[in-house]
Amino acid sequence: MEHELKHGDEPSQARLPLSWFRQSALPLAPQLLGRTIVRVTDQGIIRARIVETESYVAPHDKGSHAYNNRRTKRTETMFQKAGHAYVYLIYGMYHCLNVVAAQEGQAEAVLIRAAAPLTEHDESIMKRYRSLNSNKVVNLSNGPGKLCRAMHIDKSFDGYDMMDGEEMWLEAGKPVWPSRILCAPRINIPYAEEYADVLWRFYVADDPYVSVKDKQAVSLATHERMIETFGSEGFSWT
């Protein structure tokens, strides 16, 4: 990683618009790859490039917290307007960051599983929050719990509006094209039954910050995967 990005490699700092998040979580998840999470902290501003995501699509997806349109104190955020953060706690100690998708009331979300710091400056702040002394920096944020700790994201951000918020938001970054995206089953959801093996986890091929690499993963740039994910083989984005 370079201390400063080379000229021409700088990702766009334009905020992603609300209209962009109103699509379903399934096509949104791969489109979030390469985008930038921005977090304003007491230690400084952190920017990290998203490299791994998972789609959760209620009401039919048994892997979703809002399966069968289940509304609880925890899941209520998923029914909010797109672009809000859905943050929950797992194992009583790890927070997970999701982006609410689709139309208000649909309960769809994308889990941000892993992200890579953009510069050594971002990395240094993230290491401080993780209390990480290891030189193996790929362990810094290669998982949803690690990512939230490294970017100082906790339950207080549940329901946070990332469209207008000044503490956390998403920028356009540099999108990753389908030829560089792999699709695999989501992690640790055997309870999802027939939805346990759907290829709704997306990650950047060969990126060291990806949490789990699947030898059976398939390219998004195939007819079957493009049709299932986007409904069209000719889908493209900017």
Is-contact 211 64, C-beta < 8 A? Answer: no
**Distance, CA of 129 to CA of 115 (rounded, Å):** 15
**How does residue 7 score in pLDDT terms, banded at 50, 70 and 90?**
very low
Closest CA to 60 of 194, 167, 155: 194
Q: Which residues pair with 86 in a beta bridge?
A: 98
Give pTM, 2 decimals: 0.95
pLDDT at 219: 98
Q: What is the mean pLDDT of residues 107-126?
A: 97
pLDDT at 234: 77
> What tokens appear for 219 in the block?
């390219």
pLDDT at 2: 41
Percent of the chain exceeding pLDDT 90 equals 88
Task: Flag whether pLDDT at 106 surpasses 80.
Answer: yes
Q: What is the mean pLDDT of residues 7-31?
A: 91
102: left (phi over 0), alpha (psi -120 to 50) or beta: left
Percent of the chain exceeding pLDDT 70 equals 96
Task: Flag whether pLDDT at 208 surpasses 80.
Answer: yes
pLDDT at 136: 79
Q: What is the mean pLDDT of residues 80-109?
A: 96
**How does residue 238 score in pLDDT terms, banded at 50, 70 and 90?**
low
The 10s digit of each residue's pLDDT in 50-91 is 999 999 999 999 999 999 999 999 999 999 999 999 999 998
